[in-house]
A and B are shown apart, each in its own frame.
Chain A
């Protein structure tokens, strides 16, 4: 089945820094979503992005489906950005596959 790999696995940054998280997928996908899981376990949908670029405040995402990757950009990081970021790929059989996540820790 499709493989979804996220990098880096862990990231520690100072407040105010920018970061780029990457999600690679091994086969064609029909869609891709990014989520943030906060320290209390709540998963929040950040982007629904099968292709192209979307922006939401300090966050933006780009998916290049033909090259099988997606990027999540976080600018001017805040401590509330801490948590785990997951990408989830939707292959043709629609059985969603999650990456193992990038754990982000923003230091005050």
Chain B
């Protein structure tokens, strides 16, 4: 079985631009969640989608948004990029709704640099 696939692996953007990251879950997994990892704040939960609906959201501004498609693939969008948005963005999939119910499986991440 293929693992969680995230594209692109690396991105360089300028302040004020917007960016879209993509995540394809493990086949059969219906839950996709997103995380931001920075040296200062560590790993932080962004949001979780299950069956095309956002089920949970972390404490991030509205510039961070996402969606999930009928095939469970998910996209994450960050608008009006700030320097502090530079981070490794990780996507995880799980079989059941919510990481409380089944193990998380992570992709390799997208490293975003904002200049």
Task: Give A residues with C-beta under 8 Å from B.
Answer: 30-31, 33, 35, 40-45, 48, 86, 88, 90, 93-101
Contacts and interface: CB of A to CB of B under 8 A. Distances in A.
Contacts of A43: 90, 92, 106
Nearest to A40: B108
A97 B105 contact: no
Contacts of A94: 48, 55-56, 98-100
Contacts of B92: 43
B32 interface: no
Interface of B: 33, 42-45, 48, 55-56, 58, 88, 90, 92, 98-106, 108-109, 111
B109 A45 contact: no
Contacts, number: 56
Contact of A48 (B43, B44, B102, B108): B102
Nearest to B98: A94
Nearest to A100: B42
Given A97-B45, A98-B43, A100-B42, A48 B103 contact: yes
23 contacts: A31-B101, A33-B103, A35-B106, A41-B88, A41-B108, A43-B92, A43-B106, A44-B106, A45-B103, A45-B106, A48-B102, A48-B103, A86-B43, A94-B48, A94-B55, A94-B99, A95-B56, A95-B58, A96-B33, A96-B45, A96-B99, A98-B42, A101-B42
A35 B37 CA distance: 14
Nearest to B105: A45
Nearest to B97: A94
Contacts of A93: 56
B87 to A, nearest CB: 12
A86 B104 CA distance: 13
A5 to B, nearest CB: 12
A76 B39 CA distance: 30
A83 B100 CA distance: 25
A108 B44 CA distance: 33
Contacts of B102: 48
